[in-house]
Amino acid sequence: MSITIIKNGTLIDGQGGEPVAGGAVAYDGSKIVFVGLQKELPSFDGEIAEIDAEEGFILPGFIDSHVHVMMEYGPIESTLSTPFSYNFYKSISYLKDTLYAGVTTVRDCAGADLGLKKAIEDGLVEGPRLQVSIMALTTTGGHGDSYTTSGQYVGLMQNPYPGMPNGVCDGVEEVRKKVREMLRAGADVIKVHATGGVLSPTDHPEFTQFSIEELKVMVEEAKFRKGLKVMAHAQGTEGVKNAVRAGVHSIEHGIYLDDEAIDLMIEHGTYLVPTLLAPVAVMEIAENGGMPAWAVAKATEVINVHKESIEKAYKAGVKIAMGTDAGVMKHGTNLRELYLMTEIGMTPMEAIVATTKTAAECLGWEDHIGTLEAGKLADIVITKTNPLDDIKSLSDTTNIMIVVKDGKVVKNFSAV
């Protein structure tokens, strides 16, 4: 055995219980073998290594349920003039920044492929564990169809390079084939744009895209062929309801939620991934002149109603998993989302559970990650500050002292 013991810290295990002062975690290789009071540590045989938490706070690795690791929003002229392969090299820094923020697992919601996932798994690239959707399914002219009136395609959402399927499809049979193409390309989850969005010039967040029949086919194909789930970019009320009724696993964004939509989500056990940071980031980018006027107008329109909808859903008891839409904003700033979640009424502890336990459940990986428990993977974060007293402090990555992923220390600011 080669045991590593983290001690001299306060445990926040991701399950929502009271913090445990004088706590410790021990792991053997990539697996946790002990979580509890330091004074109750068992005796271990073999080589022992120790990490001093320096009276910091020991938490599970954080999970972001909605990112785009292959992009960061920039001016359209820059996107048009950049060779696509260059995006892979830029993603190396995006992934590292995310990991160093304490985010050890992400669900990529269009853009990352199986090769990037494998590069991380094989240690060629340093980054969080990836769950990939390959490309998002979208209707012709809908959110995610990157076609412009100039005849050019802008962005990563449509056939960016040979061998990677684009996501545009119309009608039940086209949809069926497109899901199969995503599964063939290695998708861990199917992503669909059920409504329009803020960052698309030809639609509106309230516009409904796919029919409920098309959405049902996506869910059936994903479930029966590979046992996978479907996540839906769904901002407008009717699009949200269609997605939930069709059996979609998680609603992304959820800007316009009425009582019926919320009741349906509770009835079906549907997860909500709010991405409160996304419209905030659009407004921030606009201040520097880097955002089209149509996007600014839509972000201005939705920012307050978005908060109101998420607050209503939270109070009603909808399951909420943290997600940011990173790529709209800079990667590595993911934990800003936690403070925004407290602004709609969640306690700091509830926000932490949303980015640990609940997010792991949303991804279907709760048996391996999300909480500090014996038998789970050693994804561990040590923070300098107490996030329960100051959740906003996690936005400053210098407060993320140590990050352990799969039992390997990938960041150690305490040693600097």
Cα–Cα distance for residue pair 183/193, rounded to 1 Å: 17
- With helix as H, strand as E and coil as C, how does 36-76 read? EEHHHCCCCCCEEEEEECCCCEEEECEEEEEECCCCCCCCH
Cα–Cα distance for residue pair 264/272, rounded to 1 Å: 12
SS3 category, 248:
coil
- DSSP one-letter code for 42: P
> Tokens 């798994």 sit at which residue?
121
Active-site residue identified among 13, 325, 384, 411: 325
Cα–Cα distance for residue pair 277/330, rounded to 1 Å: 11
Cα–Cα distance for residue pair 23/4, rounded to 1 Å: 14
Around 219, how many Cα atoms within 13 Å sit in the side-chain half-sphere?
A: 19
Amino acid letter for position 86: Y
Active site residue 191: yes
Q: Nearest 5°: phi and psi at 326?
A: -50, 135
Active site residue 216: no
Structure tokens that stand for 46 in this block: 């073999």
Active-site residue identified among 117, 178, 191, 411: 191
Alpha carbon of 251 to those of 117, 237, 248, 336, 391: distances in Å? 24, 11, 7, 20, 25
Beta strands in 150-268 (DSSP E): 190-193, 230-234, 250-253
Cα–Cα distance for residue pair 333/372, rounded to 1 Å: 23
**Bridge partners (DSSP) listed for residue 108:** 67, 132
* Residue 63 C-alpha from the chain's centroid: 6
**Bridge partners (DSSP) listed for residue 250:** 231, 271
Cα–Cα distance for residue pair 114/133, rounded to 1 Å: 9
Amino acid letter for position 25: V
Closest CA to 66 of 242, 322, 404, 338: 322
> Tokens 């590979």 sit at which residue?
226
175: number of Cβ within 10 Å: 23
For the chain, the C-alpha Rg in angstroms (whole number) is: 21
Angle at alpha carbon of residue 126, lines to 120 and 131, rounded to 5°: 40
Q: Which positions are catalytic?
A: 191, 325
